[in-house]
Structure 1
């Protein structure tokens, strides 16, 4: 009976968190402009209510009365998550939780306006407030010798520490830079071009999403400034964006967000923490797998090209080989979400470096744009021409999501490990993709990842799914093999 009280408490709290998530979706897609101020108040009120529930001492009294030795692993995981929520909530004052939620809502509105005006100064005050609140939150959560950033990283990748993640991600740099330099000496493939009307792009995006296994009876596809995924097993919503001169942004943004949504729709117990996603690194492994290992593969190009050509007769490419080369063109660009696989992790390293300094106080928001431009030129050889292609391109900091960026690279590392193991189990996978038959691929991920919830730590989950401890080797091998063949290195 006591354990039922714990489960009911966790379930009700999860439902409130899902309401808050739906409110954020509404804000980014269909909310009228004048609703921004009220929405910030609503989200702040929800955050305060959720904080009150998570910090309720009654929960710990219920847990102390349990005989945890009698619980199943799933039930013990729920108890551990309840403790984790309680510990975090009791360290962070309710007023701070409410202020952070309101600031994130207001920050996203100002970020959107700043992008319209192409002016970082419009967004800078909101970012300054977000950074200050995150520093305050991190200080509340930090124990012993841990740095402020560790506690923020832990919110997205439980158990991860900066001292481990930073050298892991940095270890990718030499191989990526070497591969980029060798490719730059080779001729560029024919670039994809044509006219791609918005309605036709959305129609094609829905077709691809359904082929991947996305259930539109339990989800929807909309347009937003920055693509994102949110929701629950029966209401998993995704967004994309449209450039009528280039279909790649819509295609790969959609595949990326569908990858997230497939994980969400595959949750076995959507209302309890133990059945939720393992970590953002694992979540990103799903989005990056579908976007890259599937969406940018040669078999996918062979399946996809006829549908692309049928819908867009202005397409300049003549066949699947040219499409495969075009969508894997390695070039130095400014935008992370449009980056090729060789450059992508270099974009993450830049953001990781900057947000570490923002949180530890060695970089202030007033100096962020200049720091971004200087370091981008250091890493990529040219400075962004404007704020929209530079410091304003990502939504994350406007929403207070400090600690999120490194999970993209962790996701790339995990996805390559999963890809390697899947190929061993499904040796005819390329033939499946070539035929548009993705159900066995999704079933493999459902069994190995989606259904496992939070029963294991992130690295343990990947190790169990693949039979090996996660490492950067599969990712480097994958990139070397793929681009070595593409560019005849």
Structure 2
């Protein structure tokens, strides 16, 4: 009779972690349910459930055996090295956060999401401030437990490992002058045409599903639902997306769908060998955003793809108020001074992010209090965009992020745009026939390039190394700025 085989410390660690990853996936799916189909009256119970799940997850993530396994483990290959890297980072971070605090953050942010949605719908800033103050208090406490310097930097690490506030501020300082000049020229030019007509909900959703499939979304491992704020959720074999519908503005639905498909494609594209491991997901929110912005903007808003979409829109909706492919392309890429970040054009988008970055950084550092946040937002918005905020849902209450505690998340949107510029510059060099494919409604050459060069590796490499490996160059804002200046210089000569 053979003696039982002893598993290595690495194998023991990964077996333990697989259960943790599975429980985290359940928690994520519970969050998806809360934002899509959960009955409103269930919110208090759901908050307790989320808190309980986080308590279990925190206990597993700080289990002393992890430290012993990490110390003894040897990595047999590159994937194992990356798994150990991610586990060390997670273990060090989580054991510095008290379990009671982790559970309380999960409970409060679960409640806060529903309170934000109700207050936003009622334009009731006074109803939102108390819960936001509690979220900020808890995140400050968490940042203090994690930080050895700037508390905001500790929270950035949750979303962009290796990033910090100073790096983000430098990136914005480089980008802002050229974006402001590009916006000035666009707003001084002849305005772009607008769509006109009625765009029924069911027809928008049907076209959204078709477009999602064209961009490679696998509905066998996902689904499309409606949410107040569109998002993607999940990894591996269950990756779900949401969108929203405005029957006067189909672009909100269609381009929200393409954006979330970019996120979902990253998760669906990770090598199945990494399923339920620390590297079996996107490496950072910046790299994640590079996928969604590439899909939405460089592909979905390209002149070539807009030519195809123009035809499908007229087949679906009839008269849409614009009569040529060029006018449709201009309508899709209209530069306007609007309130809403998620509906902003490519020129204005990063300026919206810069506003949020500065405000949330000040909140976490204690330089700004929630009581003064709305006034600070409105003052900054008027200075940056030349428009007075007319109501809270168009101002500091428009995004879900702060209510659910995602401080440190916003700058990764612009970092994702920067990465997208780098990726698409390299992709264009490798795919000279891409425009012809896009004009036929077929983005697959580009989506396959991204899957092969980046998505399938998950979190195998750190964020900057992921972009370097995919493009063969150092990440830089220059490719993005050149792309924007060429595109909008043509649209607004």
The Cα offsets for residues 78-108 of structure 1, whole Å up to 9 and x where unpaired, read as: 1122211211111000000000001110110
Q: How much has 1:234 moved relative to structure 2?
A: 1.4
The within-5 A match list for 1:308-347 is 308-347=313-352
Q: TM-score, normalised by structure 2?
A: 0.97
Q: Determine helix, strand or coil for the equivalent of 2:223.
A: strand
Answer yes or no: is 1:82 the counterpart of 2:126: no
Answer yes or no: is 1:303 the counterpart of 2:308: yes
CA contact (8 A) 1:275 1:451 kept: no
Answer yes or no: is 1:355 the counterpart of 2:360: yes
2:293 aligns with one of 284, 288, 295: 288
Looking at structure 1, the residues matched to 180 and 426 of structure 2 have their Cα atoms a distance apart, in angstroms, of 26
Which residue number corresponds to residue 260 of structure 2?
257
Q: How many residues align?
A: 484
Which residue number corresponds to residue 421 of structure 1?
426
2:44 aligns with one of 37, 50, 62: 37
2:118 aligns with one of 90, 94, 113: 113
The Cα offsets for residues 189-245 of structure 1, whole Å up to 9 and x where unpaired, read as: 211121001111100100100111101111000111000000122111111011000
The within-5 A match list for 1:53-92 is 53-68=60-75, 71-92=76-97
The change in CA–CA distance for 1:132 and 1:208 in structure 2 (over 3 A counts) is same
The Cα offsets for residues 172-205 of structure 1, whole Å up to 9 and x where unpaired, read as: 1100111111122211121112100111110010
Which residue number corresponds to residue 151 of structure 1?
154
Q: Determine helix, strand or coil for the equivalent of 2:248.
A: coil
The within-5 A match list for 1:266-277 is 266-268=269-271, 269-277=274-282
Which residue number corresponds to residue 11 of structure 1?
18
The within-5 A match list for 1:69-468 is 71-143=76-148, 146-268=149-271, 269-468=274-473
Looking at structure 2, the residues matched to 323 and 159 of structure 1 have their Cα atoms a distance apart, in angstroms, of 41
Which residue number corresponds to residue 46 of structure 1?
53
CA contact (8 A) 1:372 1:390 kept: yes
The Cα offsets for residues 277-303 of structure 1, whole Å up to 9 and x where unpaired, read as: 111000000001111001111011111
Looking at structure 1, the residues matched to 316 and 34 of structure 2 have their Cα atoms a distance apart, in angstroms, of 32
Looking at structure 2, the residues matched to 453 and 222 of structure 1 have their Cα atoms a distance apart, in angstroms, of 25
Q: How much has 1:66 moved relative to structure 2?
A: 2.4
Looking at structure 1, the residues matched to 444 and 182 of structure 2 have their Cα atoms a distance apart, in angstroms, of 33
Which residue number corresponds to residue 475 of structure 1?
480
1:486 aligns with one of 461, 484, 491: 491
Q: How much has 1:276 moved relative to structure 2?
A: 1.8
Q: Determine helix, strand or coil for the equivalent of 1:156.
A: coil
How large is the Cα RMSD of the aligned pairs?
A: 0.9
Q: Determine helix, strand or coil for the equivalent of 1:316.
A: coil
Q: Determine helix, strand or coil for the equivalent of 1:275.
A: coil
Mean Cα displacement is larger for which, 338-347 or 54-63? 54-63
Q: TM-score, normalised by structure 1?
A: 0.98
The change in CA–CA distance for 1:100 and 1:424 in structure 2 (over 3 A counts) is same
Which residue number corresponds to residue 4 of structure 2?
none
Q: How much has 1:437 moved relative to structure 2?
A: 2.1
Answer yes or no: is 1:21 the counterpart of 2:28: yes
Q: How much has 1:455 moved relative to structure 2?
A: 2.1
CA contact (8 A) 2:208 2:254 kept: yes
CA contact (8 A) 2:230 2:242 kept: yes
4+ residue runs over 6 A deviation: none
Q: How much has 1:275 moved relative to structure 2?
A: 2.6
CA contact (8 A) 2:269 2:451 kept: yes
Q: Determine helix, strand or coil for the equivalent of 1:172.
A: helix
CA contact (8 A) 1:286 1:415 kept: yes
Mean Cα displacement is larger for which, 309-318 or 326-335? 309-318
CA contact (8 A) 1:195 1:314 kept: no
The Cα offsets for residues 130-171 of structure 1, whole Å up to 9 and x where unpaired, read as: 10000000111112xx20000100110001121111111221
CA contact (8 A) 2:183 2:335 kept: yes
CA contact (8 A) 1:170 1:349 kept: no
Q: Which structure 1 residue ranges, 5 or more long, are not aligned?
A: none
Q: Which structure 2 residue ranges, 5 or more long, are not aligned?
A: 1-6
Which residue number corresponds to residue 3 of structure 2?
none
Q: How much has 1:477 moved relative to structure 2?
A: 0.2
Q: Determine helix, strand or coil for the equivalent of 2:441.
A: coil
Looking at structure 1, the residues matched to 87 and 487 of structure 2 have their Cα atoms a distance apart, in angstroms, of 44
